[in-house]
Amino acid sequence: MSHANSVGIGRKEVVEEEESASALPLLGSGERDGDGSESKSKASVSGSVFNLSTTIIGAGIMALPAAIKIVGVCVGVAAVIFLAFLTHTSLEILLRFSRVAKASTYAHLMGDAFGSSGTLLFHVSVLINNFGILVVYVIIIGDVLSGTSSSGVHHFGVLEGWFGQGFWTTRAFVLLLTTLFVFAPLAFFKRIDSLRHTSALAVALAIVFLLITAGITFFKLFNGSIASPRMLPNITDVSSIWNLFTAVPVLVTAFVCHYNVHTIENELGDPSLMQPVIRASLVLCSSIYILTALFGFLLFGESTLDDVLANFDTDLGIPYSSLLNDIVRISYALHLMLVFPVIFFSLRFNLDDLIFPSSRSLDLDNRRFVLITIGLVTLIYVAAIFLPSIWNVFQFTGATATVCLGFIFPSAISIRDPHGIATKKDKILSIVMIFLAVFSNAVAIYSNADALFRKQVDPHQ
């Protein structure tokens, strides 16, 4: 039988062997033995590390240098390490409670702790979080490749700079090609382990960005054109204190990957391997985060923008500046393209679980699998093309759903403790995580609302 429970759904019952054999396998549904039967190949540890790391590292990495600029190098690095520790704690709680509850998915665990309302809340949070993330990713890819206009000023994209302006460089056409030849093929894999190679490439592209930024930074350090970084936050008045809190949402949501953890564990086959996978992923991502934030802040200093990628739109003051700018932006766009299917994986199966809770497993129903996949990919493309203002919506809802998945839900499960296994340490850390999550939400909502209000008052801002 194929891994019916490995696809992020909370209820699909075990089906008969012949039903699995009769289902026509799509991409990544499993390899076949010499007799034509489908094998139960298990995911590799390295592939699982790359898939989990790719779930973690997305667009948020580009906001980390600005966060370091606000809180200083020492506080920023300490915050990244502390949040990696909290993430490890929340994931350990999820998996430990799942084993006691015999829950093969996050949704199942929420149902065990809070009943059908918990399962529903989880599904809605995943849909809001993942759909919002994917739409924003596609919008960013469009901005990078085809350019964007703001306050009457057009910022040229990479393809516009190479080939000039024409229908072949318009956002709609470029994203259509990307959807047809990148997103759609990768979206049809039925096992997340089938994405291990693209995930490895996605992590490699994040490292390419890091290496280029580090190389430019060292070059300018030798030239003496980089000032010493600020190690601690610059607090001068009440306003500067409030400004420190605006970095909290960026840092708190940096490691959220919880909605894919059960899927990866189920495909590993051996639950004891999941903890090493989690630790390796958090160490890898923490290292990339810290170095990216540090070199990005060193390179641009107080001129670091909220999205450091925007700083690579100008002359860097070094040889081959234009070429390096293009490499950075292209590698980042490719990185997001390869992150897309990993986030999409959980979105599709949670949507199916919400709409068809009594149907057989989605990986055994090719017609439903294809229709949902095509429908979601199409909807994401249309939203990214015709609703660019959706970014504002997901600055509010996305942050809320993200911290719920990463911290509030695991903490609530620990505090409710339906099986009486939570320790005093679990309860204390759960309270800390809930406080951080609620606080970061409040800060994110206030700062986003304030920025939106200012923009409406001053349309030229």
Amino acid type, 293:
A
Angstrom distance (rounded) from CA 452 to CA 446: 10
| Section 178-195 average pLDDT | 94
Look up residue 41 and give its DSSP letter: P
Q: Could you report the per-residue pLDDT of 192-229, keeping only the tens digit for each? A: 999 999 999 999 999 999 999 999 999 988 887 777 77
* 3-state DSSP assignment of residue 60: helix
Selection from 106, 113, 417, 134 nearest residue 265 by Cα: 106
Residues 6+ apart with CB under 8 A from 288: 57, 61, 203, 206, 207, 210
Q: What is the pLDDT of residue 182?
A: 95
Q: What is the pLDDT of residue 2?
A: 37
Backbone angles phi, psi at 440, to 5 degrees: -65, -35
192: domain CATH number is 1.20.1740.10
Instruction: Give bridge partners of residue 149 from the DSSP assignment.
Output: 154
Angstrom distance (rounded) from CA 8 to CA 259: 8
Q: Which segment of 1-5, 165-169, 208-212, 338-342 scores lowest on mean pLDDT?
A: 1-5
Q: What is the pLDDT of residue 361?
A: 84
CA distances from 275 to 261, 265, 412 (A): 10, 9, 21
Contact 220, 301 (CB under 8 A): no
Q: What is the dihedral of CA 209, 297, 311, 245, to 10 degrees?
A: 110
Residue 121 inside a domain? The answer is yes
Q: What is the pLDDT of residue 338?
A: 95
What is the DSSP secondary-structure string of 148-212?
EEETTEEEPPHHHHHH-SSGGGSHHHHHHHHIIIIIHHHHT-SSGGGGHHHHHHHHHHHHHHHHH
How would residue 304 be classed by pLDDT, with cut points 50, 70 and 90?
confident
Residue 24 inside a domain? The answer is no
Tokens for 16?
A: 């008969």
How would residue 303 be classed by pLDDT, with cut points 50, 70 and 90?
confident
Angstrom distance (rounded) from CA 50 to CA 56: 10
Q: What is the pLDDT of residue 11?
A: 42
Q: Could you report the per-residue pLDDT of 328-378, keeping only the tens digit for each? A: 999 999 999 999 999 999 999 899 999 998 888 888 889 999 999 999 999
Q: Which segment of 8-22, 233-247, 277-291 scores lowest on mean pLDDT?
A: 8-22
The vertex-437 CA angle with 293 and 247, nearest 5°, equals 30
| Section 78-101 average pLDDT | 95
Residue 8 inside a domain? The answer is no
Look at residue 90 and tell me whether its pLDDT is greater than 90: yes
Q: Could you report the per-residue pLDDT of 272-299, keeping only the tens digit for each? A: 999 999 999 999 999 999 999 999 999 9
Residue 146 inside a domain? The answer is yes
- Per the structure, the complete domain to which residue 240 belongs is given by 42-457
Q: Which segment of 97-111, 332-346, 377-391 scores lowest on mean pLDDT?
A: 377-391
Percent of the chain with pLDDT over 70: 84
Contact 15, 1 (CB under 8 A): yes
The span from the first CA to the last CA of the chain, in angstroms, equals 58
Look at residue 9 and tell me whether its pLDDT is greater than 50: no
Burial 229-252 (b: 16+ CB within 10 A, else e): ebeebeeeeeeeeebbbbbbbbbb
Q: Which segment of 301-310, 351-360, 393-402 scores lowest on mean pLDDT?
A: 393-402
Q: Which segment of 78-82, 385-389, 400-404, 438-442 scores lowest on mean pLDDT?
A: 385-389
Residue 4 inside a domain? The answer is no
Identify which has the larger pLDDT, 68 or 224. Answer: 68
* 3-state DSSP assignment of residue 408: helix
Looking at every residue in the chain, the average pLDDT score rounds to 84
Look at residue 19 and tell me whether its pLDDT is greater than 70: no
Helix axes of 73-101 and 274-300: crossing angle, nearest 10 degrees: 160
| Section 397-424 average pLDDT | 91
Q: What is the pLDDT of residue 37?
A: 36
Report the domain count for the chain: 1
Residue 30 inside a domain? The answer is no
How would residue 85 be classed by pLDDT, with cut points 50, 70 and 90?
very high
Look at residue 114 and tell me whether its pLDDT is greater than 90: yes
Q: Which segment of 126-130, 267-271, 291-295, 427-431 scores lowest on mean pLDDT?
A: 267-271
Look up residue 280 and give its DSSP letter: H
Residue 28 inside a domain? The answer is no
Angstrom distance (rounded) from CA 267 to CA 30: 11
Residue 83 inside a domain? The answer is yes
